[in-house]
Structure 1
Amino acid sequence: MQRQIIAIIPASGVGSRMNATLPKQYMKLQGKTILEHSLALFLQHEKIQKVIVAVSQADEFYQDLAILKSDKIQIVYGGETRADSVFNALKEVNDETWVLVHDAARPCLKRSDLDKILQISDLNGGILATPVVDTMKRANTQSQIVKTEDRSTLWRALTPQFFNAGLLKKALISAFQNNETVTDEASAMELLGYAPQLVEGRSDNLKITRPEDLALAEFYLAQEGRKND
């Protein structure tokens, strides 16, 4: 029996580090908003039945975005944190469903990476990630180096992250009850005792966080556009 798969896009952040006048997901690259680029692949994929977008209750922009009126999209209100927003979306999902959680500000995800993570069926779930290639330093509170970390077992977490909805819901509830810090869905699953699989993805699946990221994302999207011409 084919699994039901739903994508969740937490898009209620304000992107304060971008120093912009609007949330970063509504900034434009190649004539489209970052959010439109991030949503496109999930809307096109035949194995994904629905996309739930979590927006802020104070969001003044989402109603003007035509893509969000798609029959395949459901809008919910997000919360104060990413985990809250994902949990609000999970309330709309059957526990047997599998969910892909993807950052609204990752517009450069490739179909090949999405197909790779969709192959996961183990209840541990999994995430896209890339091995760390830079030298990693651990610092103290004064920003002084304490030690150089062994990077051979370090990975940089990406999205989408792919889990059974019921288990992820349980993991988030447990984290909330124990006042645990949850920075991504995998960290919640880890706290519950699961060991998500690391699926090596492309390094150009960047998250737009700072102004300089826009130019790099623009370059990656332009390169992809030339391939498709």
Structure 2
Amino acid sequence: MSEDQREHRSEERARSGALGGSEPLNSVSQTTVHLMRHGEVHNPAGVLYGRLPGYRLSVTGEAMALAGAEWFADKGVTHLVASPLERAQQTAQPISDALGLEIHTDDRIIEAGNAFEGKTFGVGDGALRRPANWWLMRNPFRPSWGEPYVEIAARMLAAVETARDAARGSAAVLVSHQLPIWTVRLHVEGRRYVHDPRRRECGLASVTSLSYDGDRLVGISYAEPAGATDPDEVPGA
């Protein structure tokens, strides 16, 4: 896979009052907050593990974390944050080792709460086949089966802003999880929260970068330092 394929960048999307604008950028106040998803987890049973303990990176996931650390080597990172969950801490560790940065743990970037934790969850099998679970699926807009999107977006945005303030004029890395990263991206782009999980642009060990001029969000980009991953895998991890 070519470098262009591994690190493709989404076109910047405008959002009134948040993203874009015609004012010139001030290099002194430019800050980037990189939202990195953790690497592949050892999960042979295909369980939706959510916030459950005991789910660590697979051998492949460890290699993904190393690839991420290499990618960040020249990105001017001065602040490193991770979700308290083991897989996020493991993904952050090579970055910490390579850049000599302390890992700050922030509960606000933890995986989203989900009523299906500990269950297999897929179309045609697992939890969806049990009528007792159908009530949980009644409202995809909130969603009814887990933590409300608005709450995920609020806590993630607060964590992003804290990291931005801690890394003024440089860059911060937040190692988090697929749904929280995708939800805050939908929020800052002004898009609806309800979506098809298979269409999330947030692969394993991927990096969604938010670029700021002062407090003003001026750009969003996306990269896959460890290469593309299967979009049809169990989401939300």
TM superposition score normalised by structure 2:
0.35
TM superposition score normalised by structure 1:
0.36
Select the structure with the greater relative contact order (CA < 8 A; seq sep ≥ 6).
Answer: 2
Point out the structure with the larger strand share. Answer: 1
